[in-house]
Amino acid sequence: MANFKDLIVTGDARIVGKLYANQSMPDGIFFLSNVSGTAAVTSSPYTSSKWYTTVNDNRITSLYSGLTIAFKIPVAGNGTYGTVLNVNGLGDHPVVYNVNSMISTRYGVGGTITLTYNATQTATGYANSSSATTYTGCWQMEDYDTTNVYQLRDNNATLKVPTGTSLYRYQLCFTDSWGQIIPYNNVNNATTNYAKALNSYGFDPWAPIYYYSSTTAVSAGSNAGASALYQHVNFDCRYSMNIQSDGTAGTTALTAGLPVYIKAQYQNGWASLYANVSSSNYLERSSIVQELPNEDPSIEIQTGETSEVIEFIFIYLGRASSKYQIELDVHHPIYKWNDFYDGIWLFTPSAGIAEWAAGATSANSANSAGTAIYDKNYNDITETYATKSELNTAIGNIDSALNAINGEVI
């Protein structure tokens, strides 16, 4: 075998056997060609999915922080019991993403994966046992995980919780005109029960809607940190609403794939949650609907000799991704019944005057299929309500014109 200090090849070079570069590029990526695997054992005693080299690779003789490898995935990972990798018999070590989260099937069989070893990070896996095993040292993903792409989190600003309410874990939150955060309920509850009284505080329906991702309670008058406030995220709504995934005790689950709307009372530019506590439908108890109404939803409340009409708006939250999860959208169009057009229309604020734009009703939209929110470009619609003064002026002008035609002078 010849040893060359410098080798310059002009033209084609053919290598018979393997080319090792562990001396010339010690910090490079080692590509492994002989990796096999076995699927996880999902009955006790549990075992993680296993990836392992079938041929000893003498380029890797020890595991150290920064060691980077790449190979084709042989079998699916497992998100419940984890996945471990064993290179050259140097020991099982979990394969993780987001520092120490167990990898699952998010990376497909046959795809190439790049991993870097971290000798000090602890992570969980299963080693033929009935309980999880904590390993020291793990293989971490080098690229960004796709879950980060679909989240929008605030960065620096903080929002104050107003006097009279508190913010608890995993709450959907509204904001008011002063920038304060209004939680969906005031229940200090670490469980997903279905007996929560909703918040009665008014909020600005056109202001941002947030999901509070922390378990840290925020008392009245204190600030919620921006790093825990998301405007676009998939979240478990059972902490905010009276919804259960399995219909426990008659509760109602979401229908996955359909839009989710907040049904809120509306008055003078303010909204508040409306919980129909006498309803057997727990979505209604949660101020939630998944279909826009096809008749006027207003109700009249009689108190003695006086009556009050309650009007409702429907605020689009996002889509149900499961029976108890909502993919919160950053855009929240609002819908309201329009008596003039006898239908549900898109409702927008403009200089304090309500303007209307054509929207889809339940009958003519694709809401049931989950594809359309409204079916017309509202920028092309010019109809607006006239004020009482404007109507009186118009009527006066018409009367004057008619009198002039008849030869009469007013």
pLDDT tens profile 252-266: 788 888 899 999 999
The owner of tokens 């790449």 is 70
Would the pLDDT of 14 be above 50?
yes
Read off the pLDDT band of 145 (50, 70, 90): very low
**Where would I find the H helices in 51-203?**
none
pLDDT, mean of residues 201-227: 84
pLDDT, mean of residues 332-346: 86
Handedness of CA 194, 195, 196, 200 (dihedral sign): positive
d(CA 95, CA 138): 6
Would the pLDDT of 314 be above 90?
yes
Q: Which pLDDT belongs to residue 263?
A: 92
- Higher-confidence residue of 235 and 281: namely 235
Q: Which pLDDT belongs to residue 315?
A: 92
Rg of the chain (C-alpha set): 31
pLDDT, mean of residues 374-400: 53
> In terms of pTM, does the model score above 0.75?
no
- Give the highest mean pLDDT range of 154-163, 275-284, 377-386: 275-284
- Higher-confidence residue of 275 and 16: namely 275
Would the pLDDT of 32 be above 90?
no
Region of poorest pLDDT, from 207-221, 298-312, 362-376: 362-376
Q: Which pLDDT belongs to residue 372?
A: 29
Residue 76: C-alpha distances to residues 44, 108, 252, 392, 410 (Å): 19, 7, 35, 73, 89
Q: Which pLDDT belongs to residue 157?
A: 58
Q: Which pLDDT belongs to residue 316?
A: 92
Read off the pLDDT band of 152 (50, 70, 90): low
Q: Give the pLDDT confidence of 170-183 residue by residue, as tens digits.
A: 888 888 777 788 88
Collapsing DSSP to helix, strand or coil, 9 comes out as: coil
Would the pLDDT of 9 be above 50?
yes
d(CA 85, CA 53): 9
Taking the CB of residue 388, how many other CB atoms lie within 10 A of it?
7
Region of poorest pLDDT, from 83-87, 246-250, 332-336, 363-367: 363-367
d(CA 332, CA 318): 8
Q: Give the pLDDT confidence of 180-209 residue by residue, as tens digits.
A: 888 888 787 766 666 677 888 888 898 889
pLDDT, mean of residues 259-278: 84
